[in-house]
Amino acid sequence: GAVVSQHPSWVICKSGTSVKIECRSLDFQATTMFWYRQFPKQSLMLMATSNEGSKATYEQGVEKDKFLINHASLTLSTLTVTSAHPEDSSFYICSARWGFEQFFGPGTRLTVL
Amino acid sequence: AQSVTQLGSHVSVSEGALVLLRCNYSSSVPPYLFWYVQYPNQGLQLLLKYTSAATLVKGINGFEAEFKKSETSFHLTKPSAHMSDAAEYFCAVSESGTSYGKLTFGQGTILTVHP
C-alpha cells in the first residue's frame, strides 16, 4: 500500500527558532499533500493544501508567513514553523493524495519551550 | 460548508460487546464520508469510506458503517469489541465530494474496551 512518512517524529525547540517538518510519499508520487494540526485531545484541523510546483493554499486563520509550506517535488512537502512559540506546540500530520485516495503520515509532535 | 458531529467524546464497552460510534454530518453536496482510527502518537488509518455506492460499507478489522441520508448519519459499528480496538476514532467528510480532497473531521471519539 501507499506509505507516507514524516520526519522528524518529534522535535523540541526553543522559542524563537524555526523548525522544518518533512512529509514524504515513499512509493508513489503525490501531486497534492495536505497539512493538518491536532491540538491535544482535539480533532484535526486542515492548515493548508500543498500542490507540487505551486504555492500552497492556506485555510482561513492560518498565518502563511509563519507556516511556510514548500512542495518542491512529487514526493516531498515541507512545513516550516518560523519563529516558533509555545502556542505552536502541537501534533502536525500530513497526508498525500494518490489517485482517488488520501494517505496519512504518522505525525510529528512539536514542543516549543 | 460541511461539518461533522460525533456524539460522545468517550465510549466505553466490554470486550465482546457491540461497538457503536455515532457520526452525523451536514453537507450541501452528496457527501463522501470516512471513518479513521488513530492510535496514540500515530497518524490516521482509514477504516472505511462511503462514496455513494452501497449504503452499508464494510471496512477493516470487522468494522462497518451505514449511510442514512434521511438521518444524515454515518454510524460506525462492530459486533464484538476487541481489546485492540481501543483507540480514537474520527469521522470525516470530504469537502470536494471526492475521496481525496480536503477533509473536515469530527471531534473524535475515544473508545475504551474493558476486559
B39 to chain A: nearest residue by CA? A106
Q: Which residue of B has its CA nearest to A49?
A: B102
Q: Identify the three-state secondary structure at position B60.
A: helix
B90-114 mean pLDDT: 87
**Percent share of chain B, pLDDT over 90:** 73
Cβ proximity of A113 and A17 under 8 Å: no
Of A97, A101, A104, the CB nearest to B44: A104
In angstroms, the separation between the Cα of residue A16 and the nearest Cα of chain B is: 25
The beta strand positions in chain A, using DSSP E, are 4-7, 10-13, 19-25, 32-38, 44-51, 57-58, 67-73, 76-81, 90-98, 101-104, 108-112
Provide the 8-state DSSP code for A59.
Answer: P
C-alpha separations of A105 from B34, B52, B85 in Å: 17, 26, 20
Query: Would the CB atoms of A105 and B106 count as touching at under 8 Å?
Result: no
| Cα Rg, chain A, nearest whole Å | 13
Using an 8 Å Cβ cutoff, are A79 and A71 in contact?
A: no
In the prediction, which pLDDT does B28 show?
A: 78
> Residue B6, class by beta-carbon neighbours within 10 Å (0-12 exposed, 13-18 middle, 19+ buried)?
buried
- A77 near B CB under 8 A: no
User: Which residues from chain B sit within 8 angstroms of residue A100, using beta carbons?
Assistant: 98-100
C-alpha grid cell, residue A34 = 495536505
Q: What is the pLDDT of residue A99?
A: 81
B29-82: per-residue pLDDT in tens?
788 999 999 998 788 899 999 987 789 999 999 999 999 999 999 999 999 999
Pairing of strands A108-112, A32-38: unpaired
Query: Which residues in chain B have Cβ-Cβ distances shorter than 8 Å to A95?
Result: 44
Among A34, A98, A104, beta carbon nearest to B43 = A104
Please answer yes or no on whether B43 and A107 come within 8 Å at the CB atom: yes
Confidence of residue A98 (pLDDT cuts 50, 70, 90): confident
Strand order in the sheet with A4-7: A4-7, A19-25, A76-81, A67-73
pLDDT value of residue B106: 93
Mean pLDDT over all residues of chain B?
A: 91
pLDDT at position B99 is 65
A35-93 pLDDT tens trace: 999 987 788 899 999 988 888 999 999 999 999 999 889 999 999 999 999 999 999 99
pLDDT band at B97 (very low <50, low <70, confident <90, very high): low
Amino acid (1-letter code) at residue A96: A
What pLDDT score was predicted for residue B30?
A: 80
Residue A91 with chain B: CB contacts under 8 Å? 41
What is the rounded CA–CA span in Å between residue B111 and residue B16? 14
